[in-house]
A and B are shown apart, each in its own frame.
Chain A
Protein backbone atom coordinates (compact mmCIF):
# COMPACT_ATOMS: atom_id res chain seq x y z
CA UNK A 1 0.00 0.00 0.00
CA UNK A 2 2.79 2.41 0.93
CA UNK A 3 4.56 1.72 -2.37
CA UNK A 4 1.41 2.52 -4.32
CA UNK A 5 1.01 5.86 -2.54
CA UNK A 6 4.66 6.69 -3.22
CA UNK A 7 4.37 5.81 -6.90
CA UNK A 8 1.14 7.79 -7.33
CA UNK A 9 2.62 10.89 -5.65
CA UNK A 10 5.81 10.58 -7.67
CA UNK A 11 3.92 10.19 -10.95
CA UNK A 12 1.70 13.14 -10.07
CA UNK A 13 4.70 15.34 -9.28
CA UNK A 14 6.62 14.43 -12.42
CA UNK A 15 3.55 14.83 -14.64
CA UNK A 16 2.77 18.27 -13.24
CA UNK A 17 6.37 19.38 -13.72
CA UNK A 18 6.60 18.15 -17.30
CA UNK A 19 3.24 19.77 -18.16
CA UNK A 20 4.43 23.03 -16.61
CA UNK A 21 7.58 22.93 -18.76
CA UNK A 22 5.52 22.32 -21.90
CA UNK A 23 3.25 25.18 -20.85
CA UNK A 24 6.23 27.53 -20.55
CA UNK A 25 7.18 26.58 -24.11
CA UNK A 26 3.80 26.93 -25.81
CA UNK A 27 2.58 30.19 -24.24
CA UNK A 28 2.98 33.29 -26.38
CA UNK A 29 4.42 35.91 -23.99
CA UNK A 30 6.24 36.23 -20.68
CA UNK A 31 3.12 36.99 -18.64
CA UNK A 32 1.42 33.79 -19.75
CA UNK A 33 4.62 31.80 -19.25
CA UNK A 34 4.77 33.04 -15.65
CA UNK A 35 1.57 31.12 -14.82
CA UNK A 36 3.22 27.84 -15.74
CA UNK A 37 6.53 28.74 -14.10
CA UNK A 38 4.64 29.47 -10.88
CA UNK A 39 2.77 26.17 -11.16
CA UNK A 40 6.12 24.39 -11.38
CA UNK A 41 7.00 25.66 -7.88
CA UNK A 42 3.82 24.48 -6.16
CA UNK A 43 2.15 21.12 -6.73
CA UNK A 44 5.05 19.21 -8.32
CA UNK A 45 7.68 19.81 -5.60
CA UNK A 46 5.09 19.22 -2.85
CA UNK A 47 3.99 15.92 -4.42
CA UNK A 48 7.58 14.69 -4.87
CA UNK A 49 8.51 15.74 -1.32
CA UNK A 50 5.40 13.96 -0.03
CA UNK A 51 6.43 10.80 -1.90
CA UNK A 52 9.87 10.95 -0.25
CA UNK A 53 8.38 11.54 3.21
CA UNK A 54 5.94 8.63 2.80
CA UNK A 55 8.85 6.38 1.83
CA UNK A 56 11.52 7.63 4.24
CA UNK A 57 9.41 9.15 7.07
CA UNK A 58 11.24 12.07 8.68
CA UNK A 59 14.74 10.75 8.14
CA UNK A 60 17.45 13.05 6.76
CA UNK A 61 16.30 12.91 3.13
CA UNK A 62 12.65 13.39 4.16
CA UNK A 63 13.44 16.54 6.13
CA UNK A 64 15.55 17.93 3.30
CA UNK A 65 12.78 17.20 0.83
CA UNK A 66 10.25 19.05 3.01
CA UNK A 67 12.61 22.02 3.34
CA UNK A 68 13.30 22.08 -0.41
CA UNK A 69 9.59 22.01 -1.25
CA UNK A 70 8.91 24.74 1.34
CA UNK A 71 11.67 26.96 -0.04
CA UNK A 72 10.44 26.46 -3.61
CA UNK A 73 6.85 27.12 -2.55
CA UNK A 74 7.66 30.33 -0.70
CA UNK A 75 10.33 31.47 -3.16
CA UNK A 76 8.17 30.78 -6.19
CA UNK A 77 5.75 33.52 -5.25
CA UNK A 78 8.61 35.99 -4.81
CA UNK A 79 10.23 34.98 -8.11
CA UNK A 80 6.96 35.22 -10.01
CA UNK A 81 6.28 38.68 -8.66
CA UNK A 82 9.82 39.93 -9.30
CA UNK A 83 9.88 38.55 -12.84
CA UNK A 84 6.44 39.91 -13.71
CA UNK A 85 7.45 43.30 -12.39
CA UNK A 86 10.64 43.21 -14.46
CA UNK A 87 8.68 42.26 -17.58
CA UNK A 88 6.25 45.12 -17.07
CA UNK A 89 8.92 47.75 -16.42
CA UNK A 90 10.95 46.65 -19.44
CA UNK A 91 7.87 46.80 -21.62
CA UNK A 92 6.36 50.08 -20.48
CA UNK A 93 8.85 51.74 -18.10
CA UNK A 94 6.26 51.76 -15.31
CA UNK A 95 3.67 49.78 -13.40
CA UNK A 96 0.56 51.91 -14.03
CA UNK A 97 -2.16 50.23 -16.11
CA UNK A 98 -3.52 52.55 -18.78
CA UNK A 99 -7.27 52.76 -19.49
CA UNK A 100 -8.32 50.04 -21.94
CA UNK A 101 -4.98 48.23 -21.77
CA UNK A 102 -6.36 45.02 -20.24
CA UNK A 103 -9.12 44.79 -22.83
CA UNK A 104 -6.60 45.36 -25.62
CA UNK A 105 -4.54 42.38 -24.44
CA UNK A 106 -7.44 39.95 -24.64
Chain B
Protein backbone atom coordinates (compact mmCIF):
# COMPACT_ATOMS: atom_id res chain seq x y z
CA UNK B 1 0.00 0.00 0.00
CA UNK B 2 1.64 3.23 -1.16
CA UNK B 3 1.80 6.56 0.69
CA UNK B 4 -0.60 8.00 -1.86
CA UNK B 5 -3.20 5.36 -1.16
CA UNK B 6 -2.85 5.92 2.59
CA UNK B 7 -3.23 9.67 1.98
CA UNK B 8 -6.43 9.01 0.02
CA UNK B 9 -7.81 6.92 2.87
CA UNK B 10 -6.85 9.57 5.44
CA UNK B 11 -8.59 12.27 3.41
CA UNK B 12 -11.70 10.09 3.08
CA UNK B 13 -11.76 9.50 6.84
CA UNK B 14 -11.22 13.25 7.31
CA UNK B 15 -14.54 13.84 5.57
CA UNK B 16 -16.48 12.26 8.44
CA UNK B 17 -16.57 15.48 10.54
CA UNK B 18 -18.00 17.29 7.52
CA UNK B 19 -20.75 14.69 7.17
CA UNK B 20 -21.63 15.28 10.83
CA UNK B 21 -21.82 19.04 10.13
CA UNK B 22 -24.11 18.29 7.16
CA UNK B 23 -26.38 16.28 9.41
CA UNK B 24 -26.57 18.44 12.52
CA UNK B 25 -26.12 22.16 11.87
CA UNK B 26 -27.81 25.16 10.26
CA UNK B 27 -28.21 25.76 6.53
CA UNK B 28 -25.21 28.04 5.97
CA UNK B 29 -22.92 25.69 7.90
CA UNK B 30 -24.14 22.88 5.67
CA UNK B 31 -23.10 24.88 2.61
CA UNK B 32 -19.66 25.43 4.19
CA UNK B 33 -19.35 21.70 4.84
CA UNK B 34 -20.41 20.97 1.25
CA UNK B 35 -17.76 23.33 -0.14
CA UNK B 36 -15.09 21.74 2.03
CA UNK B 37 -16.26 18.27 0.99
CA UNK B 38 -15.77 19.26 -2.65
CA UNK B 39 -12.20 20.38 -1.93
CA UNK B 40 -11.52 17.12 -0.08
CA UNK B 41 -12.98 15.06 -2.92
CA UNK B 42 -10.77 16.86 -5.45
CA UNK B 43 -7.72 16.08 -3.32
CA UNK B 44 -8.77 12.44 -2.95
CA UNK B 45 -8.95 12.21 -6.75
CA UNK B 46 -5.50 13.80 -7.07
CA UNK B 47 -3.93 11.37 -4.61
CA UNK B 48 -5.73 8.43 -6.23
CA UNK B 49 -4.33 9.53 -9.60
CA UNK B 50 -0.85 9.09 -8.15
CA UNK B 51 -1.75 5.90 -6.25
CA UNK B 52 -3.07 4.14 -9.35
CA UNK B 53 -0.90 5.94 -11.92
CA UNK B 54 -3.91 7.21 -13.85
CA UNK B 55 -3.76 10.86 -14.87
CA UNK B 56 -7.43 10.75 -15.81
CA UNK B 57 -8.34 11.01 -12.12
CA UNK B 58 -6.36 14.26 -11.89
CA UNK B 59 -8.40 15.63 -14.77
CA UNK B 60 -11.57 14.75 -12.83
CA UNK B 61 -10.16 16.63 -9.81
CA UNK B 62 -9.58 19.71 -11.96
CA UNK B 63 -13.09 19.57 -13.42
CA UNK B 64 -14.59 19.13 -9.94
CA UNK B 65 -12.64 22.14 -8.64
CA UNK B 66 -13.79 24.27 -11.57
CA UNK B 67 -17.44 23.30 -11.24
CA UNK B 68 -17.42 23.88 -7.48
CA UNK B 69 -16.03 27.39 -7.94
CA UNK B 70 -18.92 28.13 -10.28
CA UNK B 71 -21.62 26.20 -8.40
CA UNK B 72 -21.09 27.10 -4.77
CA UNK B 73 -21.53 30.89 -5.19
CA UNK B 74 -24.85 30.10 -6.88
CA UNK B 75 -25.92 28.13 -3.80
CA UNK B 76 -24.77 31.04 -1.62
CA UNK B 77 -26.73 33.50 -3.71
CA UNK B 78 -29.88 31.42 -3.37
CA UNK B 79 -29.34 31.14 0.37
CA UNK B 80 -29.18 34.93 0.57
CA UNK B 81 -32.60 35.55 -0.91
CA UNK B 82 -34.74 32.57 -1.66
CA UNK B 83 -34.14 29.59 0.60
> Complex Cα distance A34/B28, Å?
10
Query: B62–A71 contact, CB under 8 A?
Result: yes
Interface residues contributed by chain A, number (CB under 8 Å): 49
Interface of B, secondary structure class, is helix
Interface of A, secondary structure class, is helix
Query: B69–A33 contact, CB under 8 A?
Result: no
Q: How large is the interface on B (under 10, 10 to 19, 20 to 34, 35 or more residues)?
A: 35 or more
Query: B68–A75 contact, CB under 8 A?
Result: yes
Shortest B18–chain A CB gap in Å is 5
Contact with A along B27-69 (1 / 0, CB 8 A): 1110111011001101100110110000100110110011011
Query: Knowing A13-B43, A21-B36 touch, does A60 contact B11 (C-beta < 8 A)?
Result: no
* Total contacts A-B at CB 8 Å: 147
> Complex Cα distance A34/B40, Å?
15
Shortest A50–chain B CB gap in Å is 11
Q: Which single member of B11, B32, B50 contacts A37 (CB below 8 Å)?
A: B32
> Complex Cα distance A75/B33, Å?
15
> Complex Cα distance A21/B39, Å?
11
Query: A25–B36 contact, CB under 8 A?
Result: no
Query: B55–A25 contact, CB under 8 A?
Result: no
- Chain A residues at the B interface, C-beta cutoff of 8 Å: 6-7, 10-11, 13-14, 17-18, 20-22, 24-25, 29-30, 33-34, 36-37, 40-41, 44-45, 48-49, 52, 55-56, 59-61, 64-65, 67-68, 71-72, 74-76, 78-79, 82-83, 85-87, 89-90
